[in-house]
């Protein structure tokens, strides 16, 4: 099965997030109306207290979605807006996936749109760090399955034969002086991040792993690069090296001083 990666549209996730915010707001209001008589019997102030909490939740969600929209449209926003927007995104994302399933939108399209939104917001922050605080993190399926040199514990075991993308990624790591790690799963990926303590990550993976990884390491900035799967999922995958290098340069504090 050949995986086709199209240019994702940010507006898909934004639209779903907006609809989820509206539906959540209506649900909260309906819940308040239903419980109001019972709350009044307990205490005259409880309906107002619960209503105030509902208003705060609704306003918080609306502010988060609005912050994302303004950032995407190019309006200047405070850094706190990005931080709050991500809290809202993490809450809304599973709701957006559920809503997409209800209206027959494939999960991978929603995830691709989510990754595109994430990348846009990260780039808008114009984060610059030293090369040794940047890490490329990739799945083990990027390595040729017949290769006898194991690289998950030591990436330098790669002989850069050109049979897969690992050699090119290692070349990039040497060129810019950044970290490169290959993980066999989410647990090992988290261990590597904890050990290296990068300030930014360029992550290569499929839609599902990228979305979960971006959420796992929040608030650490991550630029996601989707891998290519001509042989099916999790088997001899590829990545566009130019896209990875572009993501590195986005974070690189002094590109000229680190490149050979």
72-94 residue pLDDT tens: 777 766 666 667 777 788 888 89
- List, for residues 90-133, the tens digit of each pLDDT value: 888 899 999 999 999 999 999 999 999 889 888 888 889 999 99
- Reported CATH class of domain 131-258: alpha beta
- List, for residues 166-213, the tens digit of each pLDDT value: 889 999 999 999 999 888 877 788 888 888 899 999 999 999 989 988
Distance CA 124, CA 135 (A): 19
Q: What's the chain's length in residues?
A: 260
Q: Does 256 have pLDDT greater than 60?
A: no
Return the domain boundaries, the chain. Answer: 10-124, 131-258
Q: Does 8 have pLDDT greater than 60?
A: no
Residue in 10, 9, 55 with CA at minimum distance from that of residue 28: 55
Which residues on adjacent β-strands are paired with residue 135?
179, 201
What is the model's pLDDT at position 76? 67
Three-class SS string for the chain?
CCCCCCCCCHHHHHHHHHHHHHHHHHHHHHHHHHHHHHHHHHCCCHHHHHHHHHHHHHHHHHHHHHHHHHHHHCCCCCHHHHHHHHHHHHHHHHHHHHHHHHCCCCHHHHHHHHHHHHHHHHHHCCCCECHHHEEEEEEHHHCCCCCCCCCCCCHHHCCCCCCCCHHHHHHHHHHHCCEEEEECCHHHHHHHHHHHCCCEEEEEECHHHHHHHHHHHCCCCEEEEECECCCCCCCCCECCHHHHHHHHHHHECCHHHHCC
Average pLDDT score, the chain: 84
């Amino acid at each position: 099965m050949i995986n086709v990666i199209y240019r994702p549209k940010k507006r898909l996730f934004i639209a779903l997030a907006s609809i989820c915010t509206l539906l959540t707001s209506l649900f909260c209001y309906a819940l308040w109306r239903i419980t109001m008589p019972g709350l009044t019997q307990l205490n005259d102030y409880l309906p107002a207290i619960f209503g105030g909490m509902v208003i705060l939740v609704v306003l918080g969600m609306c502010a988060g979605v609005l912050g994302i929209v303004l950032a995407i449209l190019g309006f200047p926003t405070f850094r706190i807006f990005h931080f709050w927007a991500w809290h809202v995104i993490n809450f809304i994302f599973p709701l957006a996936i559920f809503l997409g399933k209800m209206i027959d939108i494939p999960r991978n399209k929603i995830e691709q749109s989510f990754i595109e939104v994430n990348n846009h917001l990260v780039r808008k922050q114009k984060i610059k760090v030293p090369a040794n605080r940047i890490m490329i993190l990739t799945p083990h399926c990027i390595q040729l399955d017949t290769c006898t040199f194991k690289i998950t514990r030591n990436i330098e075991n790669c002989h850069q034969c050109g049979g897969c993308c690992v050699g090119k990624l290692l070349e990039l790591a040497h060129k810019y002086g950044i970290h490169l790690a290959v993980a066999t799963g989410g647990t090992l990926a988290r261990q590597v991040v904890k050990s290296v303590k990068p300030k930014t990550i360029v992550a290569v993976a499929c839609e599902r792993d990228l979305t979960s990884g971006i959420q796992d390491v929040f608030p650490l900035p991550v630029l996601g690069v989707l891998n290519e799967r001509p042989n099916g999922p999790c088997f001899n995958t590829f990545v566009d090296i130019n896209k990875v290098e572009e993501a590195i340069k986005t974070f690189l504090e002094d590109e000229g001083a680190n490149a050979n």
